[in-house]
Structure 1
């Protein structure tokens, strides 16, 4: 997660101190300041892994500066002074007292790898939330000339983030988020969808031979339950090679119980009696709406998962992949319908520093801090 801090501020209020990751970050930085050699045990952490710009600046300084001689570090704060000077180039609000506070609040420096894992897990949650936000935002951007292509590109980017997280937190079998799934978003203005679905049904009734050419269209792509049911009636009659007209479709609808919701037979007949355009055109319009709705639902579902602190990275990966699979299924049908085959982007390599291994040595005593003896 990138930061653009005011260099005159310490940025330490970005994440409430009551949030566990804030304390994990403090503990990790304190461990590294206490014993810089522990940096070799820390993997998967980079400058954008931190919740505050001040912490990111400190980590960057610790990573960039040569580690001090352990015996010298045990006696003086010279290396801490260098770290502070380097970090203040990006976060001028940092103070020497805060570095000493970090050392003091670290429970056990030898647990640095565990603290790093916590920081990395929270960073994974933020990355997933940010990528999902872009997907949902793109779904609702009415200014896009090619909305499907743009949405699928964001879905691919989100999938790459999920794959990247999975390299560090592989999903475990049977571990899915327990977060309640949000209900589907109601269309802001369903009028257009209703009218186009009616035209599709009427045109398919008038030209049943064209139904076979839109086998990629499913009942679930319709926004209205009655329309979905009538499409099933049409495809069933066509598949059985039975006569298709408004009356035969109405009779099939009765057999399937579609009129039990109070739909008037005369209203169904009127709906099926006004064809226009082509079945393929209206079918593609319905499928496009269905794809965008699926992307919106998948995005909001993943957002709900990432907003729930009870979900582990393992669960986030499993839940996100399950949600993205719903987009993938409709994407395949959309490509068959339109003849557009969008290239799959290369999966991004995992960001972060390469694994380092420090020698197994005992940490030095804590360096002298203000008001504290070593």
Structure 2
């Protein structure tokens, strides 16, 4: 049993039975259908309507409406026959319920689209981590945010981050050993520099946070350094050890004296700002991967309504937006924003939103389901089929 497939067939069957239903489905696009044959057929039906097909008028629907749609769709996809078109007709319980069937198709498309873009962001984050780059990761984060905003408008809601009641269960990311070793080395090197160089904390404290460290112990030591810096107290290995003890890191065995000695006995000579940016670069790709996994887990939950899915997904991207803002600050650039997906002036955004908000309401005067006539087509001339773009 596949409710989404049934909904796609019902939408197409409703339009084949009653072409006037297309006016109620302006917000539904061909690419919202999952099966390619359904995409091609819906695009063909819209194309015939825009070309002024006689079936779009009043009176019985001629058989040519079905045959012409099959021929037009057959230009772009294989396997579509007139018999399948009649199967679609029989799959539609009520043509007047086309907006409701269309809502189901759009809902499936939203889940599918969010999943695809989350996977793409996760792949780009992993690639960026291996290459030591973040530009591609940030770009695809913008793309995902723009997609979520556009889908919210298509669904008829306002996009706003909302935390889910229960965080989605995600699979932990596995970091390659070589990459993990390099990141841990950069973090330990940075801590050694901050301990040995007076004033080095001032170079990174404004934009580097404990959560940017992959190793929790390193993050806790950086928090201790930040506390000393904030209170205006001197920083060296003794004051740092004292602060770590005050915070219970020695008592609960979070930090051992041997590990503390290894970190603080490092070289201690280096550029704190450069090392801090290395740590933050890893933080961006790591946070992006975690956000992408959370969004994908939400999208794969079929019980989650589209509005909640979109808002929860936007919330899951919040940590990445925070790291990105601090990354821009570290480079002395104003924080960039995700591109807004304002509706195109050439499209029908108002009609889509209105249709989405009223998508469950059937037509006031539903057409009889037997409007499709098997009689001869009218003699009125009609334009020839054209390949739609």
TM-score bracket for this pair, using the shorter chain length:
0.7 to 0.9
In the alignment, which residue of structure 1 is the partner of 2:248?
257
Three-state SS of the structure 2 residue aligned to 1:261 is: coil
Q: How far is the alpha carbon of 1:71 from its aligned partner?
A: 2.8
1:52 matched to 2:35:
yes
What does residue range 23-102 of structure 1 map to in structure 2 within 5 Å?
23-65=6-48, 66-68=53-55, 69-73=57-61, 76-102=62-88
Three-state SS of the structure 1 residue aligned to 2:315 is: helix
Work out the CA distance in 2 between the residues paired with 1:121 and 1:88: 27
1:180 matched to 2:184:
no
What does residue range 303-342 of structure 1 map to in structure 2 within 5 Å?
303-341=296-334
Q: How far is the alpha carbon of 1:270 from its aligned partner?
A: 3.0
* Structure 1 contact 175–314 (Cα < 8 Å) conserved: no
1:269 matched to 2:261:
yes
Structure 1 residue runs without a partner (length 5+): 1-17, 370-374
Root-mean-square deviation over aligned CA pairs: 2.7
Work out the CA distance in 2 between the residues paired with 1:232 and 1:140: 27
Query: Does the C-alpha gap of structure 1 residues 166 and 342 become closer, same or farther in structure 2, counting only changes over 3 Å?
Result: same
Using CA pairs under 8 Å that are at least 6 residues apart, name the structure with larger relative contact order, 1 or 2.
2
Q: How far is the alpha carbon of 1:44 from its aligned partner?
A: 1.6
1:290 matched to 2:283:
yes
Query: Does the C-alpha gap of structure 1 residues 67 and 26 become closer, same or farther in structure 2, counting only changes over 3 Å?
Result: farther
Work out the CA distance in 2 between the residues paired with 1:280 and 1:52: 52
What does residue range 1-374 of structure 1 map to in structure 2 within 5 Å?
18-65=1-48, 66-68=53-55, 69-73=57-61, 76-142=62-128, 147-169=133-155, 170=157, 176=164, 178=166, 180-182=168-170, 184-189=172-177, 190-215=180-205, 216-259=207-250, 260-261=252-253, 263-274=255-266, 275-341=268-334, 343-344=336-337, 346-350=339-343, 354=348, 355=351, 362-364=366-368, 365-368=370-373
Query: Does the C-alpha gap of structure 1 residues 267 and 298 become closer, same or farther in structure 2, counting only changes over 3 Å?
Result: closer
Q: Structure 1 stretch 209-218 or stretch 264-273: which is displaced more?
A: 264-273
Structure 2 residue runs without a partner (length 5+): 356-361, 375-389
Query: Does the C-alpha gap of structure 1 residues 367 and 336 become closer, same or farther in structure 2, counting only changes over 3 Å?
Result: same
Provide, for residues 26-79 of structure 1, a one-character-per-residue CA deviation record: whole Å limited to 9, x for no partner: 010000000111111113211211101111111111111125144342xx4222
Query: Does the C-alpha gap of structure 1 residues 342 and 243 become closer, same or farther in structure 2, counting only changes over 3 Å?
Result: closer
Q: How far is the alpha carbon of 1:144 from its aligned partner?
A: 8.0
Work out the CA distance in 1 between the residues paired with 2:78 and 2:253: 67
* Structure 1 contact 43–353 (Cα < 8 Å) conserved: no
Provide, for residues 102-158 of structure 1, a one-character-per-residue CA deviation record: whole Å limited to 9, x for no partner: 111111111001111111111122221122121111111159867211111111111
Three-state SS of the structure 2 residue aligned to 1:117 is: helix
Three-state SS of the structure 1 residue aligned to 2:200 is: helix
Work out the CA distance in 2 between the residues paired with 1:312 and 1:349: 23
* Structure 1 contact 50–123 (Cα < 8 Å) conserved: yes
Work out the CA distance in 2 between the residues paired with 1:233 and 1:348: 42
Query: Does the C-alpha gap of structure 1 residues 292 and 359 become closer, same or farther in structure 2, counting only changes over 3 Å?
Result: closer
Q: Structure 1 stretch 79-88 or stretch 143-152: which is displaced more?
A: 143-152
Work out the CA distance in 1 between the residues paired with 2:64 and 2:174: 61
